């Protein structure tokens, strides 16, 4: 029987600054927890909430793939690869830091709040940084997203009507962005996570729901 761990939204670590709030699924900074540092190559899943016009100025990353999925609002992105633009819901963005990259992110709106999920992975890219983005189809189903330089795949799962099956030969991390969703009889609300160690086929059910599903090759942690 695969090992299953449920982590609730309310148990995430919280960082607050002027106009920003971050909810961390994994150990981070002063919230260090040696028992919650990674799932396979996934080392961060942060829900970012930015007030109108607020954002993060240029900051640097190395040896990480950074994947962004916007939930509400529009994100303004700029990085040292020369990419500059806006990321709206339905667009999966990946910035592979490689040997080093800087980027800045802001709420593109002066009137509406912004909410997005930003995920980081240990990357196999140690060379020049790379940028990629993929438009994910609307509607129900199991959708591929942007490829990463890591032993993992990110899917967007939106069950509707009949349960949606997700084959996970080496385990899975299910992060709910819009709930409630039922996964193998476990009810998960928005921000909740299910982490499964070991091969499994998950059955997701719900209406007007959405989850982000990481399928690592060799989940650990």
List the chain pLDDT tens, one digit each, 221 residues.
578 999 999 999 999 998 999 999 999 878 888 989 999 999 999 999 999 999 998 889 888 999 999 999 999 999 899 889 999 999 999 999 989 989 899 999 999 999 999 999 999 999 999 999 999 999 999 999 999 999 999 999 999 988 999 999 999 999 999 999 999 999 999 999 999 999 999 999 999 999 999 999 854 44
In the block, tokens 């020369």 appear at 82
């Amino acid at each position: 029987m695969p090992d299953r761990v449920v982590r609730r939204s309310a148990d995430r670590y919280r960082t607050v600054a002027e106009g920003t709030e971050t909810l961390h699924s994994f150990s981070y900074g002063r919230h260090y927890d040696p028992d919650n540092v990674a799932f396979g190559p996934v080392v961060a899943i942060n829900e970012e909430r930015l007030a109108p016009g607020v954002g993060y100025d240029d900051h640097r990353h190395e040896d990480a793939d950074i994947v962004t999925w916007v939930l509400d609002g529009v994100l303004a992105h700029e990085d040292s690869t020369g990419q500059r633009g806006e990321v709206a819901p339905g667009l999966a963005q990946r910035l592979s830091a490689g040997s080093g990259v800087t980027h800045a992110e802001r709420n593109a709106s002066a009137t509406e709040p912004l909410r997005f999920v930003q995920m980081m992975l240990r990357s196999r890219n140690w060379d020049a940084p790379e940028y990629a983005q993929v438009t994910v189809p609307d509607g129900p189903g199991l959708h591929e997203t942007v490829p990463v330089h890591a032993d993992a795949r990110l899917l967007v799962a939106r069950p509707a009507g009949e349960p949606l099956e997700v084959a996970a030969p080496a385990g899975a991390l299910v992060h709910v962005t819009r709930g409630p969703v039922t996964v193998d009889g476990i009810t998960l609300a928005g921000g909740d996570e299910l982490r499964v160690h070991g091969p499994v086929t998950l059955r997701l059910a719900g209406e007007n729901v959405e989850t982000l599903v990481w399928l690592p090759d060799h989940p650990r942690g």
